[in-house]
């Protein structure tokens, strides 16, 4: 997918996917039919921004403001695209 198209994409969790925080493990999880995916580091908060109203560009801008000097401009779009390839985002 072209970079401009990815930047304009408004990711949202696929219908069968739920984001939950596991208090016992203090980590975020994606609950899928017959599968649980453990999200590490900042992955949970990134997925939490995927509500269908924000574009990837908006998500990157938000995170860049929160974490100046980080590589969100390249890392976040690639991460979200991987989740879309898995079928967890649409």
Mean pLDDT throughout 5-32?
94
Split into its structural domains, the chain has a count of 1
Is the model's pLDDT at 1 over the cut of 70? no
- CA-to-CA distance for 64 and 75, rounded, in angstroms? 11
Considering the chain, what percentage of its residues have pLDDT values greater than 70? Answer: 94
Cα dihedral value 5, 8, 13, 16, nearest 10: -50
Read off the pLDDT of residues 36-66 as tens digits, 9 standing for 90 and up: 999 998 999 999 999 999 999 999 999 999 9
> What is the CATH number for 18?
1.10.10.1150
* Strand, coil or helix: 43: helix
Query: Model pTM?
Result: 0.89
Is the model's pLDDT at 2 over the cut of 70? no
Q: Which domain holds residue 70?
A: 3-86
pLDDT for the residue numbered 43: 96
């Amino acid at each position: 997918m072209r970079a401009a198209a990815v930047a304009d994409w408004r990711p949202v969790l696929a219908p069968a996917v739920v984001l939950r925080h596991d208090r016992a493990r203090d980590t975020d999880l994606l609950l899928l039919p017959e599968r649980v995916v453990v999200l590490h580091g900042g992955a949970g908060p990134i997925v939490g921004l995927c509500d269908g109203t924000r574009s990837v560009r908006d998500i990157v801008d938000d995170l860049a403001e929160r974490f100046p000097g980080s590589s969100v401009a390249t890392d976040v779009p690639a991460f979200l695209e991987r989740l879309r390839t898995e079928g967890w985002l649409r």
